[in-house]
């Protein structure tokens, strides 16, 4: 879920840049096709532009000397889950792969408000890292730590 939110924020930033490009004075890489705010099919234009540069997002090299943090792998230092005093989990040194395979399900662009609603699907995410877990279950006090790896897949 955290990976999904980080990735969604990144894609929203990218969408915002694509629409605001005509207003930005700085030169953009030639790989980014800006969409005009008054484009009749603005959502389609944005989606096409994002898909066009998706292969470049994997390594973070947009061309013309422009670089961004790569999508593959996405590294997260620390995620802490404290649902109650009875369940605590800490995940560290996480690496996730599969974010560049996103599918844009739906986009609602409101350029006058600079607002964009985006629905994406990540068909599969592979991850690995370390965990530390503390769980109180009735009379059992369960603790554990170690390495982990796994995947989340949409069926």
Quick one: pLDDT at residue 154?
83
CB atoms within 10 A of CB 86: 12
Number of domains making up the chain: 1
Q: How high is the pLDDT of residue 26? A: 63
Q: How far apart are CA 96 and CA 76, in angstroms?
A: 8
Q: Print the domain residue range for 64.
A: 2-153
Closest-CA residue to 21 (of 41, 39, 7): 39
Question: Would you state the pLDDT for residue 88?
Answer: 94
Residue ranges in the chain modelled with pLDDT below 50: 1-4, 25
> Does the reported pTM lie above 0.75?
no
Strand partners, 124: 153
**Model pLDDT for residues 125-138, shown as the tens digit of each residue:** 999 999 999 999 88
- For residues 82, 83, 87 and 93, what is the CA-based torsion angle, rounded to 10 degrees? -40
Instruction: Assign 98 to helix, strand or coil.
Output: coil
Residue 106: give its domain's CATH number. Answer: 3.15.10.30
């Amino acid at each position: 879920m955290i990976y999904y939110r980080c990735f969604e924020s990144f894609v929203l930033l990218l969408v915002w840049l694509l629409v605001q490009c005509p207003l930005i004075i700085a030169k953009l890489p030639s790989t980014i096709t800006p969409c005009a705010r008054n484009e009749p099919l603005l959502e389609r234009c944005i989606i096409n532009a994002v898909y066009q540069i998706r292969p470049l997002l994997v390594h973070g090299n947009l061309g013309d000397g422009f670089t961004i943090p790569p999508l593959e792998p996405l590294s997260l230092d620390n995620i802490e889950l404290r649902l109650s005093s009875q369940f605590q989990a800490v995940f560290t040194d996480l690496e996730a792969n599969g974010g560049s395979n996103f599918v844009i399900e739906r986009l609602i662009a409101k350029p006058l408000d600079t607002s964009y609603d985006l629905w994406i699907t990540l068909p599969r995410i592979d991850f690995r890292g370390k965990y530390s877990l503390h769980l109180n279950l009735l009379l059992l006090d369960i603790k554990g730590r170690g390495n982990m790896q796994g995947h989340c897949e949409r069926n």
